[in-house]
Amino acid sequence: MKILIIGGTKFLGRHLITASLKNNHEITLFNRGKHSAEKIENVEQIHGDRNSDFAKLNGRNWDAVIDTCGYLPQTVKASAEFLKDSVNQYVFISSISAYANFINVDFDETAPVAELTEEQQKQANEIDPKGELTGAILGEIYGALKALCEREAERAMPGRVLNVRSGLIVGAFDPTDRFTYWVMRVASGGEVLAPGTPSRCVQLIDARDISEWIINMIERRENGIYHATGKPFELTMKKMLEEIKSVSGSDTAFTWADEGFLNREKVAVWSEMPLYLPESNKEAHGFLSANIDKALEKGLSFRPLSETIRETLDWRRTKNDELKAGISAEREKELLEKWHELS
């Protein structure tokens, strides 16, 4: 099959390329060329801005296009409308964040999606589609924008869209470092500040697993809306951290600080303590518990967590830049001292 990938040189795109080539598909990348693609071999690359340079794709046809970087509905609308006669299927990488709230656990794809308020719509209209993502997009309106992107793709290509509402994707090339922080911190050893309740469940998926599933879905021409993340209620924070300790062979000791302490010390959830959300926040109660029965029925499968940890560890050890998520060593030490004083 011939597959066009919009983006493709950063995180998920790299794994989609690997999964595609493994199954002997022909890959074309269309992106701005801003991120290094030196190590991406056996793929055609066309450089251009999706907001103005789609004409570079005139006269070409593909079996499917995978949109890995659609964040604004007007941009996805233009892309899908331009490509509707050139591709058989539009695969849009959406997000679990597309929902209106996360009050309920084990929610499925029929849950209500987020909607923009009138003020937020004005804010979205002012975003420069040629610019980089702003804090506004990454904050309150990110999920609603993803939901709108899904709708625009479906309007342009009714019945030919696969909307993949992904959960937390982890592994090599992850630019967020949310899972990577825990891998590297635990591997470094010593006393580690762990957040909240050890039995609290988390939900994530290896980038290789979601990529291989997406390519298999394209091969079968499957469309519709699917959650693509790990199994809910299976992986706890404690189990994840202990597995990292085992794989890395570290001498780590975990100190679990409760929610009240973390709140009083104003520890930033999800950023200073990645994958941590207060259990008292009912709006986010079910965020890491998406139902994935639909995807499982379509063959979604998972490699052992140990493999994900090992690949993440090996990859991150090749990099010298600072992690983009996680608490600083100084602040962690300070908090641990305060916690022990209270104990």
The string of DSSP codes covering 207-228 is HHHHHHHHHHHHHTT--EEEEE
In a domain, residue 27? The reply is yes
- Element (H or E) spanning 205, and its range? strand 204-206
The yes-or-no verdict on residue 311 having pLDDT over 60 is yes
The two beta strands, 62-67 and 2-6, are parallel
Taking all residues of the chain, what is their mean pLDDT, rounded to a whole number? 94
The dihedral sign for the CA sequence 22, 76, 9, 247: negative
The three-state secondary structure class of 93 is strand
Q: Provide the token pair at 241.
A: 């951290």
Short-list 10, 39, 16, 38, CA closest to 28: 16
Give the pLDDT of residue 127: 76
In a domain, residue 135? The reply is yes
In a domain, residue 7? The reply is yes
Residue 234 makes CB contacts below 8 A (sequence gap 6+) with: 201
The yes-or-no verdict on residue 38 having pLDDT over 60 is no
In a domain, residue 310? The reply is no
Q: How many CB atoms lie within 10 A of CB 106?
A: 12
Q: Rounded to an integer, what distance in angstroms lies between the CA atom of residue 201 and that of residue 276?
A: 10
Domain that holds residue 50: 1-166
In a domain, residue 194? The reply is no
Q: Whole-model pTM? A: 0.95
In a domain, residue 28? The reply is yes
Q: How many CB atoms lie within 10 A of CB 303?
A: 12
Strand partners for 225: 163
State the pLDDT confidence band at 285, using cuts at 50, 70 and 90: confident
Q: Rounded to an integer, what distance in angstroms lies between the CA atom of residue 266 and that of residue 284?
A: 18
Return phi, psi of residue 154, to 5°. -70, -35
**CATH code of the domain in which 52 resides:** 3.40.50.720
Q: Average of pLDDT values for 266-282?
A: 94
The dihedral sign for the CA sequence 204, 270, 137, 106: positive
In a domain, residue 82? The reply is yes
CB 291 within 8 A of CB 106: yes
- Give how many domains the chain has, as a whole number: 1
Which of 18-32, 133-147, 247-261, 284-298 has the least mean pLDDT?
133-147
The yes-or-no verdict on residue 150 having pLDDT over 80 is yes
The yes-or-no verdict on residue 170 having pLDDT over 60 is yes
State the pLDDT confidence band at 201, using cuts at 50, 70 and 90: very high
- pLDDT top residue among 249 and 32: 249
In a domain, residue 5? The reply is yes
Give the pLDDT of residue 63: 98
The two beta strands, 201-202 and 44-47, are unpaired
